[in-house]
């Protein structure tokens, strides 16, 4: 279970990709206020984006990669009434219940390959992890990496695990290769073999059970072809477990360039 906080104020949209995340002030019910980058369940991409954010974000954190802390953000759609912007108003109105919050890294900068050097060991861990989850959204054009206090942080895992859009083909889709030639960290000589040796053994059934348990039932309920949320959780784990063992043999790095 993710810890949960309640939205008290919509601050501002963070327009970048298409998912229309927004900065939201929250209350944890014990008097502590926080600020979270929030992705809404009513956004166009749908709730699978949120499921991917939770599974991949929690998995990355458990593997020791830096991802801002994730929480569930409870939203009363009434909050939308105060919004002057029609699009935001509509988004909030259609996102009652739980949404996904990511701790806001105040002062973080977007990753600039000309201004930041990543060592091959760290680049290897990130590339290997992205191969595991089949993340297509970490290219040099759109790195989805932040630099905060001198370290890189991973954000935006909503476009990974493409196989969850077509479950009957998930086993074959998840066995496919990963093309990292466009990856933002491809130019840093990523040591993928070392990353695989270190991280693959950590991706166990138990770990996958833990990270998939963090997805709220409400985002898994009613998935066609499944007998409830736990069966969907299992399908995510079944796709990732074998991929962790061998994906390092199927990563293409050639052709990368700053």
Ligand X SMILES: Nc1ncnc2c1ncn2[C@@H]1O[C@H](COP(=O)(O)OP(=O)(O)O)[C@@H](O)[C@H]1O
DSSP 19: S
Query: Which of 69, 226 has the CB closer to ligand X?
Result: 69
Binding-site member from 99, 134, 144, 212 for Mg ion (CB under 5 A): 144
Sheet holding 109-110, edge to edge: 109-110, 145-148, 151-154
- Out of 156, 207, 223, 243, the only residue in the binding site for Mg ion (CB under 5 A) is 156
* Span from 98-106, 167-175, 197-205, 243-251 in contact with ligand X (CB under 6 A): 98-106
Q: Is 41 in the site for ligand X (CB under 6 A)?
A: no
104 binding ligand X? (CB under 6 A) = yes
Q: Two tokens at 210?
A: 């833990």
- Rounded least distance, CB 37 to ligand X, Å: 4
> Which x/- pattern over 123-152 shows residues binding ligand X (rule: CB under 6 A)?
---------------------x-x------
Beta-bridge partner residues of 68: none
Q: What is the spatial distance between Cα 141 and Cα 135, in angstroms, rounded to a whole number?
A: 14
How far apart are alpha carbons 55 and 196 in whole angstroms? 19
Residue 17 interacts with Mg ion (CB under 5 A): yes or no: yes
Q: Which of 16, 85, 87, 151 binds ligand X (CB under 6 A)?
A: 16
Q: Which residue has the tokens 């680049």?
A: 123
d(CA 229, CA 217): 6
Cβ neighbors of 29 (< 8 A, separation 6 or more) are 5, 6
Residue nearest to Mg ion (CB): 156
Judged by the rule CB under 5 A, the positions of this chain that interact with Mg ion are: 17, 144, 156
């Amino acid at each position: 279970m993710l810890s949960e906080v309640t939205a008290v104020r919509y601050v501002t949209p963070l327009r970048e990709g298409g998912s229309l995340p927004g900065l939201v002030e929250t209350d944890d019910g014990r008097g502590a206020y926080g600020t979270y980058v929030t992705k809404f369940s009513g956004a166009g991409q749908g709730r699978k984006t949120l499921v991917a954010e939770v599974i991949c974000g929690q998995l990355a954190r458990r593997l020791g990669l830096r991802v801002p802390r994730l929480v569930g953000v409870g939203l009363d759609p009434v909050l939308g009434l105060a919004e002057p912007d029609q699009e935001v108003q509509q988004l909030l109105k259609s996102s009652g219940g739980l949404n996904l919050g990511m701790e806001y890294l105040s002062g973080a900068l977007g990753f600039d390959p000309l201004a930041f050097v990543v060592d091959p060991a760290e680049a290897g861990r990130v590339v290997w992890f992205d191969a595991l989850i089949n993340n297509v959204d970490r290219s040099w054009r759109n790195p989805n990496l932040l630099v905060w206090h001198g370290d890189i942080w991973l954000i935006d895992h909503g476009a990974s695990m493409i196989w969850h859009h077509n479950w009957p083909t998930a086993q074959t889709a998840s066995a496919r290769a990963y093309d990292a030639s466009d990856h933002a960290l491809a130019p840093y000589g990523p040591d993928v073999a070392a990353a695989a040796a270190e991280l693959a053994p950590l991706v166990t059934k138990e770990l996958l059970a833990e990270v998939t348990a963090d997805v709220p039932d409400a985002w898994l309920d009613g998935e066609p072809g499944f007998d409830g949320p736990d069966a969907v959780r299992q399908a995510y784990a079944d796709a990732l477990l074998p991929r962790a063992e061998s994906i390092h043999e199927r990563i293409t790095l050639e052709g990368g360039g700053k």
